[in-house]
């Protein structure tokens, strides 16, 4: 089997979570950088990574990397890469996205057009053709420039992996599915513990938690660009990976996962999304204000993405909202709370300093993941559950 170097971009700050996921799949990590993890795998790994990884944004096949400080250098070194080993004669290829950070070459449109020309010149010399119809499968290319180091990869995923296929509709300020999964994985929550999201919006946290509990692979209900790359990955590899994903689903798992929101219309959206994801029977959604947050049992988890007040007219309501959240949480005996927010006075109005927090970028918004830790349940209690 052919070995590839595969690049998995992720949210900044979530590299350790993604690294653990890749190791759990059984693949060797070759590099961890800000916002991406590179690992070694074969054709099967392309399928497995796309279908099973919850925190990766996409999977790229690394074609090459080199240093370039001039466009001439970029052209020559791109042309020197073995494109014919990846793209067939009739393949449709283009540089879909370029990004440049702290590099002398910073015009992304120029980077894209020069690299495309270089690829065409390489293909002309290898396929002995002067014109390419490009009427076959799509081979989109992505390139990152960081401090003049160019890294080039073929995008196997297509649409970002956060698009699981279940969220047809979303509420205000949705959190992506990949980030929600990563944030849940940063907590000690497991399927036998209670989980409540009092600001559930379109239901992303409860749905991702339910999918984890039921071992539903995040890529089961979507397609990937590389499914058409029969020159690199046999169709059977995709069928086998999907069969494995189906076999792993636990259809009878029992959980206590709840999602509340004050907006009844948003709760309807969350229910529809959960139904599409196949986990509606595992989650109790309810229209409920945060001041009414309660649960009779101990040792549960609150994991949530409360309003940030990004809109000016919402800012003035935040002190009262976070105060109500904090007061409700105090009544939850021995619970832990995890919230991601950009609101700088979150701890002040919540009424407690976080035991831990970490800076995370949610899109372009700088946020903090505040962790208010409760006690661990006694061993006897853990064994009973």
CA–CA separation, 202 vs 58, rounded Å? 23
Residue 55's pLDDT is 98
Give residue-wise pLDDT tens across range 116-160.
Answer: 999 999 999 999 999 999 999 999 999 999 999 999 999 999 999
Asked whether 373 and 356 are in contact (CB, 8 A), the reply is: yes
Distance CA 236, CA 84 (A): 23
Structure confidence at residue 315 (pLDDT): 80
Domains of the chain: 4-155 (3.30.2130.30), 177-216+233-384 (3.40.50.150)
pLDDT for the residue numbered 213 = 98
pLDDT of residue 308: 85
Q: What is the pLDDT of residue 311?
A: 61
Percent of the chain with pLDDT over 90: 90
pLDDT at residue 306, rounded to an integer: 95
**pLDDT score recorded for residue 294:** 94
Q: In what order do the strands lie in the sheet with 301-304?
A: 283-287, 257-261, 195-197, 301-304, 336-341, 365-372, 356-362
* DSSP three-state, residue 224: coil
> pTM of the full predicted structure?
0.94
pLDDT score, position 380: 61
Q: Are the C-beta atoms of residues 96 and 102 closer than 8 Å to each other?
A: no
- Count of other CB atoms within 10 angstroms of residue 21: 23
CA separation for the pair 10, 58 (Å, rounded):
8
- Please name the residue that has the structure tokens 């649960």: 295
Q: List, in order, residues 6 or more apart from 175 with CB less than 8 Å away.
A: 183, 201, 204, 205, 305, 340, 362
Radius of gyration of the chain (CA): 23
Which tokens sit at 383? Answer: 């064994």
Give the residues of the chain that fall short of pLDDT 50.
none
d(CA 255, CA 277): 16
């Amino acid at each position: 089997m052919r070995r590839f170097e595969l690049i998995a971009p992720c949210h900044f700050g979530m590299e350790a979570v993604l690294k653990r996921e890749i190791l759990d799949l059984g693949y060797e990590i070759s590099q961890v950088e800000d916002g991406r993890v590179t690992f070694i795998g074969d054709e099967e790994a392309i399928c497995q990574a796309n279908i099973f990884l919850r925190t990766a944004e996409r999977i790229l096949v690394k074609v090459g990397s080199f240093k370039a400080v001039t466009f001439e250098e970029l052209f020559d070194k791109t042309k020197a890469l073995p494109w014919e080993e990846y793209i067939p004669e009739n393949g449709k290829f283009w540089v879909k996205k370029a990004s440049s950070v702290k590099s002398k070459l910073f015009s992304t449109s120029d980077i894209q057009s020069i690299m495309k020309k270089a690829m065409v010149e390489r293909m002309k010399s290898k396929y002995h053709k002067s014109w390419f119809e490009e009427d076959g499968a799509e081979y989109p290319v992505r390139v990152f420039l960081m401090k003049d180091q160019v890294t080039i990869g073929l995008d196997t995923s297509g649409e970002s992996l956060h698009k699981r296929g279940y969220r047809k509709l979303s509420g205000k300020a949705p959190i992506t599915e990949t980030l929600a999964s990563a944030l849940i994985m940063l907590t000690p929550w497991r399927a036998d513990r209670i989980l409540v999201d009092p600001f559930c919006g379109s239901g992303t946290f409860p749905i991702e938690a339910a999918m984890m509990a039921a071992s539903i692979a995040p890529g089961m209900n979507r397609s990937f660009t590389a499914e058409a790359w029969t020159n690199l990955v046999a169709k059977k590899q995709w069928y086998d990976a999907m069969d494995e994903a189906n076999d792993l689903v636990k259809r009878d798992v029992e959980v206590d996962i709840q999602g509340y929101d004050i907006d009844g219309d948003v709760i309807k959206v969350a229910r529809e999304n959960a139904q599409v994801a196949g986990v509606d029977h595992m989650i109790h959604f309810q229209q409920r204000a945060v001041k009414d947050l309660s649960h009779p049992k101990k040792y549960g988890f609150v994991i949530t993405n409360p309003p940030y007040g990004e809109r000016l007219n919402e800012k003035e309501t935040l002190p009262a909202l976070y105060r109500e959240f904090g007061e409700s949480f105090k009544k939850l005996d021995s619970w832990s709370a995890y919230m991601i927010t950009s609101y700088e006075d979150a701890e002040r109005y919540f009424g407690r300093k976080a035991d831990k927090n970490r800076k995370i970028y949610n899109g372009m918004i700088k946020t903090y993941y505040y962790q208010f830790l409760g006690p661990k349940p006694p061993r006897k209690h853990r064994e009973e559950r």
